[in-house]
Amino acid sequence: MKKIISIALSVIMLISVGAVSAIPAMAGVSSPGQSEVTTKPMCEREPVIITVNSSKSEEVSYTKDNFKYTFVYSGDGEIIGWEFPGMVEGVDYYILSISSDKTKVVIELSESGKNKQIKANALVKNAASDTEDEEIEDDDNSGTSPATGAAMAGIAIAGAGVAMLAASKRKND
């Protein structure tokens, strides 16, 4: 009986290791809401994301001249600053100029910044909120990644193996 349980436990462990290592490879499969699977880096697919208070907006525009970017805010509300999430000022980019009312900022990318996706976020006080439709659209793409699901499955299978081992020890005692 011990031999059968030992073999079964070994098989369960091999299956769990195989599941955890194989399933994350499916992460490249498109989910509902995505139209294509691509291997291009994010900075080539959507090189610049512009937002107002972290919500997509058409109130910010930009122009590009080599690696110099000019961002202009044209909406309502008082702009209190700019941020570039995922990038470090002085490392990935340098601020070349900013207008006195802060509606226009010009940055230049450093060598390390040239490989990163640019996210420009205008921080605006009392901005009109017209992003309700976009928030609903973003909810359609939420969920757990296949890699997370694979890890959970592997843990569950390993737990089942440990439970079998514990049950066999209790039976022998």
- In terms of pTM, does the model score above 0.85? no
Across 16-20, 76-80, 114-118, 156-160, least confident range: 16-20
Tokens of 84: 């570039």
**How many degrees, rounded to 5, is the angle at CA 158 between CA 154 and CA 162?**
170
Is pLDDT of 53 > 90?
yes
DSSP lists the bridge partners of residue 73 as: 60
pLDDT over 70 (residue 113)? yes
Q: Determine the longest span between alpha carbons in the chain, in angstroms.
A: 81
Per-residue pLDDT band for 69 (boundaries 50, 70, 90) equals: very high
pLDDT on residue 137: 43
